[in-house]
Amino acid sequence: MLYATAEAVLARFPLQVRACPNASLMCVSSGPLSAQARDAVAASAERLGFGRENVAWVEVTSPAEEGVATAPPSSAAADSVPAASDARATPIETADAGASAASLTELQLRTIVEGLDPVALVVADAAAAALLAEAYRRPLFCDHPNRLSARSVAAFSNFAALLETPEGKQRAWSLLKELALE
């Protein structure tokens, strides 16, 4: 049953979520992470016992995907109506039907987190942390360990920036170690 729920989430949010259905660690960011940041999260996932391939990557702001027609960001309305040609939409999904071409709402982000049900989360930046805090109606403190619905959360104000210095890397690793499976 959980696998089917995860598969449904992956099908519903193909632009914002890259994952296997049984991902045990989720990394949420406001936009695309740099290759260095993705590698750091993946390597940390491996060292912490989650596995390098068991990371779900969630981007709150969807990237433009080649071959997908979307309105330019300047003309996108906050409450846009999905295209009738969206073959993935079903009556149950009407609230989320525009998800393939727009930024995630707090409800959609919560749907993704609960649907994939990871053991822990890495929140890569303050904007993603703010949306996650709205989604769960609980504060998330950046650069500190957090708990969210029985999940360990390492929330960063700017994970990518921390990786630019040796001291920053140590601070990032210190927070990521809080997620270790024991």
pLDDT 10s digits, 9-35: 999 999 999 999 999 999 999 999 999
Measuring CA to CA, which residue among 19, 1, 38, 27 is closest to residue 120? 27
Q: Which of 54-58, 90-94, 163-167 has the lowest mean pLDDT?
A: 90-94
Q: Is the pLDDT of residue 77 over 80?
A: no
Give residue 92's pLDDT band: very low, low, confident or very high (50, 70, 90).
very low
CATH superfamily for 2-63+92-179 is: Uracil-DNA glycosylase-like domain (3.40.470.10)
What number is the average pLDDT over the span 79-97?
36
Give residue 90's pLDDT band: very low, low, confident or very high (50, 70, 90).
very low
Condensed to tens digits (0 to 9), the pLDDT of residues 111-137 reads 999 999 999 999 999 999 999 999 999
Q: Per 3-state DSSP, what percentage of the chain is helix, strand, and coil (rounded to 5)?
A: 40, 15, 40
Which residue reads 């690793």 in tokens?
Answer: 173
DSSP class of 25 = E
Q: Is the dihedral of CA 66, 22, 136, 160 positive or negative?
A: negative
For residue 12, what is the enclosing H or E element? Answer: helix 2-12
Q: What confidence score (pLDDT) does residue 64 get?
A: 52
Cα-Cα end-to-end distance for the chain: 26
Cα-flanking dihedrals φ and ψ of residue 5, to 5°? -65, -45
Three-state secondary-structure class, residue 17: strand
